[in-house]
Amino acid sequence: MKMNSNEGRQILVCCGTGCQANGSLQVFDAIQEQIQSLGAVEVKTFAKSTGCNGWCEQGPLVKILPDDITYCQVKVDDVPAIIDKTIKNNEVIERLLYRDPASKKRVKSPHLELDFYQKQKKIALRNIGEIDPASIEDYIDRDGYKALEKAFSISAEQIITEVIKSGLRGRGGGGFPAGIKWQSCAEQSNAPRYIICNGDEGDPGAFMDRSIMEGDPHTVIEGMVICALATGASNGFIYVRDEYALALKNLNQALIDARKGSFLGENIMGQGFAFDIEVVRGGGAFVCGEETALIASVEGKIGEPRDKYVFPAEKGLWGQPTVINNVETWANIPVIINEGADKFASIGTENSKGTKVFSLVGKVVNTGLVEVPMGTTLRQIIFEIGGGILKGRQFKAVQTGGPSGGCIPAELLDLPVDFDTLKEVGSMMGSGGLIVMDERTCMVEVARYYLNFLAGESCGKCVPCREGIRRMQEILTRICEGKGQISDIELLEEIAETVKIAALCGLGKTAANPVLSTLRYFRDEYLAHIEEHRCPAGVCRDLTEFYIDKEKCTGCGICIKNCPVDAIHGEKKEAHTIDVEKCITCGSCIDTCRFDAVRIR
């Protein structure tokens, strides 16, 4: 394969945390080094490190422009070939291209050819993977800070009206209309006022906010400055959990560059408006993602939430009017101002406008970040974008909304996802986690897992959350161990209801969701554990016994090789048997058997 252009090439290396973990920084260094040795005469090429592409499964990703070639899982050893073949000789290296499992074809430009990219609509993630997050010029090249310029040309009321008209709802989980928050803050008579960006993303498996802060920090800053202009705020804070090292680094760099570029500071864009932002590092408590706990933490107090009968927009940080929005919400603001509220509001459903970023993880073929219009169905997200379930297994449930979200069963796969529909089915949007589960998932164990997480992360301030979660966890553990009683289900429901009604903050009020949603859709699994002492998914160790179906077993021996306790015996090409006395029901045999011969009793 030959290509025509060999001038002015760009090599983009994804340096998001996922790709970095797979060695993308080394790849980036190697490319830079080897390009230099080429001498500037031969090809004009420069490498940029970009933020997360969302396609973490295939990282490190190296993209070559304008040829539009994406190489997957690139190693340092591949770099000489990339330079020699692609950069010098315009050849595409077939083996580094993604192989579409459906068509079995190699794909040169995944974002043009693959459903994973084609079915997405990027607003919040528009720049990620396209720009170098450390370069303010890159951001400006893609219309960066144009929205701020436009905001200066209209009145504060007009800015707020635009945001209200856009229908943008808070992306952090609550789904409160962002414009109404701004308006309420602007209406307060007291000053100073504050702006906060909530970057304390804590849901297990969720990384949309991290990706934005790492990959496009200026969009967050621009969104916040526009809000400051609309509400008359003087100071902003970006609260980032300390584990997000790269996000912290890129945000701090962006703040320095924004000040230099006069997009932040004493006299923004020469308009006489002063506003500055500082980064506050969170200590890693999940509950500090709750806005009032976050505010307490910024104030240097214990990260405990307070009752929100008075919103932070009236009394927030240090008792002053405060607008607090999540990272993804801020990332939408420049687009709304630039392109107009009507265009934004034309995307999505009646009451949930725009797009939502999901982190699609679990037992799904393509894991990563996906941004889709509100109202996209779960089936489209999981099967079209996500490519379906791993190993061709059966879909069982999808867990949305983080640890205190709910599990949605197969019969609801055609549900158009938005803030309200998810709530109706007993789950929630949360910050956008989507964890896909297959037939080998025990739903009682799933509920127990999340309650375990929440028990460790509840701040312990209010009794229903602290004690209620712990007691639900106690009951679920008992059921998983086969010691459950039938009356336990009623007790679970009773405690769940009290926690839901009486808990102080959002964490507590939703903490019963994993229990209530699994009881609602998978009650038979609870009953199987309690009445039949059986775990239908073969996960709960005390309730599982594996055996080998003699008809199906081919005697290939792969289970023998994988059994960690030598509990499987049998001659080659003859049916094997499992010694139940020795078996620790770890499940490695059932996971590796290619003939579906390992069965659950």
Partner 1 sequence: MKIMIDGRDVDVEYGETILTAAKRAGIKIPTLCHNEAFEGQGRCRLCMVEVEKGSMKNTVASCTYPITGEIKVTTSTPLIEKTRKNIIMLLYKQAPGSQLIQDMYKEYGCVDNSLEENNADERCILCNLCVLACQEMGSSAISLIMRGTDKQVATPYNEAAEVCLGCGACAEICPTNAIKVIEKDGQRIIWNKVFNLVNCQRCGKPFATREQLEYIAAQGKDISTQNLCESCRRKSAAEKIQGFM
**Interacting residues toward partner 1 by CB under 8 A:** 285, 287, 302-303, 306-307, 309-310, 455-464, 466-471, 474-475, 478, 485, 487-488, 491, 494-495, 498, 501-504
Q: For residues 494 and 596, which CB has a smaller minimum distance to partner 1 in the complex?
A: 494
Shortest Cβ distance from residue 456 to partner 1 (Å)? 6
Q: For residues 285 and 333, which CB has a smaller minimum distance to partner 1 in the complex?
A: 285
Shortest Cβ distance from residue 492 to partner 1 (Å)? 11
Q: For residues 116 and 286, which CB has a smaller minimum distance to partner 1 in the complex?
A: 286
Plot region of 375 (φ>0 → left; ψ -120 to 50 → alpha; else → beta): left
Burial zone of 519 (CB within 10 Å; 0-12 exposed, 13-18 middle, 19+ buried): buried
Q: For residues 84 and 467, which CB has a smaller minimum distance to partner 1 in the complex?
A: 467
Shortest Cβ distance from residue 189 to partner 1 (Å)? 15
Shortest Cβ distance from residue 458 to partner 1 (Å)? 4
Say if CB 565 and CB 512 are below 8 A apart: no
Q: For residues 130 and 488, which CB has a smaller minimum distance to partner 1 in the complex?
A: 488
Q: For residues 259 and 483, which CB has a smaller minimum distance to partner 1 in the complex?
A: 483
b/e string for 145-154 if b means 16 or more Cβ within 10 A? Answer: bebbebbbee
Shortest Cβ distance from residue 475 to partner 1 (Å)? 8
Question: Is the bond leading into 60 cis (omega within 30 degrees of zero)?
Answer: yes
CA distance to 165, 306, 419, 466, 473, per residue, from 454 (Å):
36, 18, 22, 9, 9
Shortest Cβ distance from residue 515 to partner 1 (Å)? 15
Q: For residues 223 and 402, which CB has a smaller minimum distance to partner 1 in the complex?
A: 402
Q: For residues 259 and 306, which CB has a smaller minimum distance to partner 1 in the complex?
A: 306
What distance in Å separates the CA atoms of residue 318 and residue 493, rounded to the nearest whole number? 39
Q: For residues 109 and 184, which CB has a smaller minimum distance to partner 1 in the complex?
A: 184
Find all residues with CB under 8 Å of 507, minimum gap 6, and list them.
286, 287, 290, 305, 404, 454, 457, 458, 459, 465
Torsion (CA) 393, 399, 400, 405 in degrees, nearest 10: 180
Q: For residues 257 and 488, which CB has a smaller minimum distance to partner 1 in the complex?
A: 488
Shortest Cβ distance from residue 296 to partner 1 (Å)? 12
Q: For residues 302 and 580, which CB has a smaller minimum distance to partner 1 in the complex?
A: 302
Burial zone of 112 (CB within 10 Å; 0-12 exposed, 13-18 middle, 19+ buried): exposed
What distance in Å separates the CA atoms of residue 415 and residue 64, rounded to the nearest whole number? 38
Shortest Cβ distance from residue 366 to partner 1 (Å)? 35
What distance in Å separates the CA atoms of residue 259 and residue 264, rounded to the nearest whole number? 5
Say if CB 509 and CB 460 are below 8 A apart: no
Closest CA to 60 of 92, 106, 18: 18
Shortest Cβ distance from residue 511 to partner 1 (Å)? 11
Q: For residues 310 and 580, which CB has a smaller minimum distance to partner 1 in the complex?
A: 310
Shortest Cβ distance from residue 469 to partner 1 (Å)? 8
DSSP string, 35-102: HHHH-TTT--EEEEEE---S-GGGPSPEEEETTTEEE-S--GGGHHHIIIIIIIH-B--GGGSEE-TT
Say if CB 83 and CB 30 are below 8 A apart: no
Shortest Cβ distance from residue 508 to partner 1 (Å)? 9
3-state DSSP assignment of residue 360: strand
Angle at the Cα of 238 from the Cα atoms of 233 and 244, rounded to 5 degrees: 175
Shortest Cβ distance from residue 311 to partner 1 (Å)? 12
Shortest Cβ distance from residue 471 to partner 1 (Å)? 5
Shortest Cβ distance from residue 474 to partner 1 (Å)? 6
Q: For residues 257 and 304, which CB has a smaller minimum distance to partner 1 in the complex?
A: 304
Q: How far is CA 500 from the centre of its chain?
A: 25
Q: For residues 460 and 482, which CB has a smaller minimum distance to partner 1 in the complex?
A: 460
405: its two tokens: 């979200």
What distance in Å separates the CA atoms of residue 159 and residue 152, rounded to the nearest whole number? 9
Burial zone of 35 (CB within 10 Å; 0-12 exposed, 13-18 middle, 19+ buried): buried
b/e string for 432-460 if b means 16 or more Cβ within 10 A? Answer: bbbbbbbebbbbbbbbbbbbbbbbebbbe
Burial zone of 392 (CB within 10 Å; 0-12 exposed, 13-18 middle, 19+ buried): exposed
Say if CB 432 and CB 327 are below 8 A apart: no
Q: For residues 21 and 310, which CB has a smaller minimum distance to partner 1 in the complex?
A: 310
Say if CB 538 and CB 584 are below 8 A apart: no
Shortest Cβ distance from residue 487 to partner 1 (Å)? 7
Plot region of 499 (φ>0 → left; ψ -120 to 50 → alpha; else → beta): alpha
